[in-house]
Amino acid sequence: MEIRKDILRTIEINELYNDLLVSYKKLDSLIKKGPVKNFIKVRKQAENFLEHYEEVVKNKLTETEKIAVAKPEIKPVNVVNLNKRAVGELREICKQRGIEGYSKASKSILIKKINDKFGSAKPKIESTTLGIDLELKKYSTILKKNISLWKEEFRREFLTNLNNLLKEKKFELKGILPMLKTWLFSFKIDFERQNVPIWYGPEQEKIANCKLDYNILADTLEKYCNHIVDREFDESNFLKNLYRAYEISIFKEKKVIGDQVSVIELLLDYISLIQNNRYKVNPQKKFYTDYPRYLFSYDLYRLKKRMYKNYEFTLVIATRAYTKKQANYIWIPMNEKGDANYISHIKFRVKKNE
């Protein structure tokens, strides 16, 4: 199950030639303004194009591709000829305007003489890129007739192969391109940029950015799923630390048990509690225990116990006002299908006798 590299290669060649065409148009625009005031810029642009042209045609294309797309008529701008043409026109201007001492003068002196006496003289010169422009447009038109069909075929093959791979890994693929989901993950297939950002939750917590390769994508999804699910998890210890973090939060905010605290603030206090002694003694990055929001979210989901001593643990669903900023809530699933709540606060309250 390999990605159709021939299709990607065809798309790449088309993009290279489109870039080449853009370079030509910029150069053509400069040349049409005349070399007197723009000569240095024109020359630099011509040199840049020459380098670009050689990189594309000589270095990036195979012999077969050169025959197919690099027409004999397509030649890079001859910088030397452009230079000679500019000097000739400058001298003609000097002759017509009665400026003396131009016959052996250099380009820079000629330009200065003209500008000193007459200001902005801009002779028109004929574009040297017309033939190239036409050839590139012709090639691009032919290619574009098939490019959309090739892209659609590539999308279908990509989606089919991804679905088959995920089934082998016991995942169910859902959604409509470009946004897809499986288990608690959502991801966007970006065919133009050839990458796939992956989130835990519906575009909630970004966990990875993957290449446009269904093998790599399927493996990445499986890796993160295993990382989230297979971690050691002690419910009692987790609930105990939640309560300790809650006590710290209400103390800082001068609240009492039973009051609710921000789930994000509690997470920060929780993270400080779970750091090992090496980090507390010598707080370096290498000793730090990482605990991102998506792991906290999943641990809250799989926490079934609700009583610590005589206190009941409660999640507070976020109001609309709190869901406007991700810094105010955490997405917490209710099941493995991805149904979820947005939680903004947490509290422990004394369990009332009923």
pLDDT averaged per 10 residues in sequence order, the chain, 354 residues: 48 62 61 54 60 62 55 48 64 65 60 50 38 56 64 85 95 94 96 91 95 93 96 96 96 95 96 93 91 97 94 95 93 93 95 66
- Closest of 241, 351, 259, 254 to residue 303, by C-alpha: 241
Tell me how far the alpha carbon of residue 44 is from its chain's centroid: 31
| 10 and 141 inside one domain | yes
| 47 and 133 inside one domain | yes
The 3-state DSSP class for residue 350 equals strand
* Domain membership flag for residue 26: yes
Residue 346 exposed, middle or buried by CB count within 10 Å (0-12, 13-18, 19+): buried
The 10s digit of each residue's pLDDT in 12-63 is 666 666 666 666 666 556 555 555 445 555 556 665 666 666 666 556 666 5
| 32 and 141 inside one domain | yes
**Residue-level pLDDT at 351:** 80
Whole-number Å distance between alpha carbons of 52 and 56: 6
**Residue-level pLDDT at 191:** 84
Q: Residue 73: phi, psi to the nearest 5? A: -75, -20
| 225 and 240 inside one domain | no
| 54 and 96 inside one domain | yes
Order the strands of the 179-182 sheet from edge to edge. Answer: 174-176, 179-182, 185-188, 195-200, 205-211
- Closest of 291, 261, 250 to residue 274, by C-alpha: 291
* Domain membership flag for residue 161: no
* Domain membership flag for residue 185: yes
How many domains does the chain divide into? 3
**Residue-level pLDDT at 55:** 63
* Domain membership flag for residue 78: yes
Domain boundary residue, one of 88, 114, 148: 148
* Domain membership flag for residue 158: no
| 51 and 96 inside one domain | yes
* Domain membership flag for residue 163: no
Question: Is the four-CA dihedral 62, 67, 71, 76 of positive or negative sign?
Answer: positive
The 3-state DSSP class for residue 177 equals coil
Helical packing angle, 293-302 and 263-273, nearest 10°: 100
Which residue range is the domain that position 73 belongs to? Answer: 5-148
| 215 and 280 inside one domain | no
Whole-number Å distance between alpha carbons of 298 and 333: 7
Length of the chain: 354
| 269 and 293 inside one domain | yes
The 3-state DSSP class for residue 203 equals coil
